[in-house]
Amino acid sequence: MENNHYIKKISHYVMNNTPVNFIFHKNKYYEFNDRLVQEHIINEHSELLCASYSLFYTTLSFHKRAETDSKYQPYDILLGDYISSYVAELLYKNQLIDILKVFTLSSKKIMLNILNNDDDDSLLDDIIKALKSR
């Protein structure tokens, strides 16, 4: 994980362009990685997929922090936006269009759930299902 190219890129971006700390969800990274192993999914893009999944939660954390961190609120909001678009653009550039679609629909559902005070989250299951159906 420490050597994940995409995570390193974002971590450096945050460090070099903003005064805030990078928020990383190791547990989410391993959760995805373990699930790939468990389901015997071998994918040439697994590094990218693990990064994309964990960075989604980084985005949410930056946006959550914006609520309380008044000093660096603009950075928290913009970094959340930057990282989520980075993930979408990355999936597009690698032509993982089916995964991009699943990512879009599942994360939109998560946003709706947050607005409805519901903590349901099927992102992991949805991506795994899409990978298995390839």
Partner 1 sequence: MDLVKICHIDKQLLDEKIKNFLDQDKELNPKYRNQLSSLLFSSGKRLRPTFTVLGSYFGSADKDKIYSLAAIFEMIHTASLIHDDIIDKADLRRGNKTLHIDNGVYDTIILGNYLVLLCSEYVAKYEFEDYYYNFFNITDLCHSEIIQQSLLFNFKITFKEYIHKTKNKTALLIAASLVGGAKLANVEDHELTMLYNYGINLGISFQIIDDILDFTQDKNNLGKPNGADLINGNVTLPVIFALKNKKISPKIRKLTKGSSTTDFNKCIELIINSNAIKKSKRVSKNYLKRAKKAIKKLKHNQKTILYDLLSELEKRTY
Residue 104 interacts with partner 1 (CB under 8 A): yes or no: yes
Closest C-alpha to 56, from 114, 14, 94, 104: 104
Instruction: Kindly state whether residue 37 participates in binding partner 1, applying the rule CB under 8 A.
Output: no
Is 15 a residue that touches partner 1 (CB under 8 A)? Answer: no
Cβ-contact 104, 126 below 8 angstroms: no
**Is 105 among the residues that bind partner 1 (CB under 8 A)?**
yes
Buried b (16+ CB within 10 A) or exposed e, 115-134: eeeeeebebeebbbebbeee
Site string for partner 1, 72-91 (x = CB under 8 A): -xxx-xxxxxx-xxx-xx--
Q: What residues make contact with partner 1 under the rule CB under 8 A?
A: 17-18, 63-64, 66-67, 73-75, 77-82, 84-86, 88-89, 92-93, 97, 100-101, 104-105, 107-108, 111-112, 114-116
